[in-house]
């Protein structure tokens, strides 16, 4: 069975990356395998390359820096024996994402409480600003 050979335009279509970005990724060392060339010198990719690039898209979407993806790709290119180092790279990014998710959950909790308060305010035909601080009982107010 012959492996599928893909041209750069097809890889761009499959991954959602531009041709320019694919070339940049190659120059930056983000590919886990060597980009081969056909007899005319044009880049040819394998389905494994497309799968790896799909991982790169998700790594970037998660905020992984290009330098970290490059480091991981280099480790994969080097072959077996460095799996512990690969795991640590991924665990470090996992910790980063977990912290981001925690912060986002806190933000979402705040937004959810604000949405609920505005919904209640509007459902009760509230007037005035719903977040205006109400005077505390017994507090002395001064006039400007």
Write down the pLDDT at residue 4.
Answer: 85
Residue 87 pLDDT class (50, 70, 90 cuts): very high
Task: Give the start-end residues of each E strand in the chain.
Answer: 6-7, 36-37, 43-45
| Phi-psi map region of 123: left, alpha, beta (phi>0 left; psi -120 to 50 alpha) | alpha
Could you tell me which residues come within 8 angstroms of residue 34 by beta carbon, excluding any fewer than 6 positions away?
77
Q: What are the pLDDT digits (tens) for 24-78?
A: 999 999 999 988 999 999 999 999 999 999 999 999 999 999 999 999 999 999 9
d(CA 70, CA 61): 15
CB 53 within 8 A of CB 17: yes
pTM of the model as a whole: 0.77
d(CA 66, CA 127): 51
| Phi-psi map region of 75: left, alpha, beta (phi>0 left; psi -120 to 50 alpha) | alpha
Which tokens hold the place of 91? 């665990």
CA-based nearest residue to 77, from 52, 103, 60: 52
Q: Is 138 helix (H, G, I), strand (E, B) or coil?
A: coil
Task: With a cut of 90, say whether residue 143 has pLDDT above it.
Answer: no
């Amino acid at each position: 069975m012959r492996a599928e050979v893909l041209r750069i335009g097809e890889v761009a279509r499959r991954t959602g990356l531009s041709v320019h970005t694919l070339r940049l990724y190659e120059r930056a060392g983000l590919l886990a395998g060597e980009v081969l060339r056909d007899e005319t010198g044009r880049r040819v990719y394998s389905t494994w390359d497309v799968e790896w690039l799909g991982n790169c898209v998700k790594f970037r979407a998660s905020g992984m820096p290009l330098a970290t993806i490059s480091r991981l790709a280099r480790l994969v290119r080097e072959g077996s024996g460095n799996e512990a180092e690969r795991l640590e790279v991924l665990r470090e990014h996992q910790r980063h994402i977990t912290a981001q998710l925690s912060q986002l959950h806190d933000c979402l909790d705040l937004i959810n409480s604000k949405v609920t308060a505005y919904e209640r305010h509007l459902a009760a035909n509230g007037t005035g600003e719903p977040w205006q601080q109400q005077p505390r009982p017994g507090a002395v107010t001064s006039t400007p």
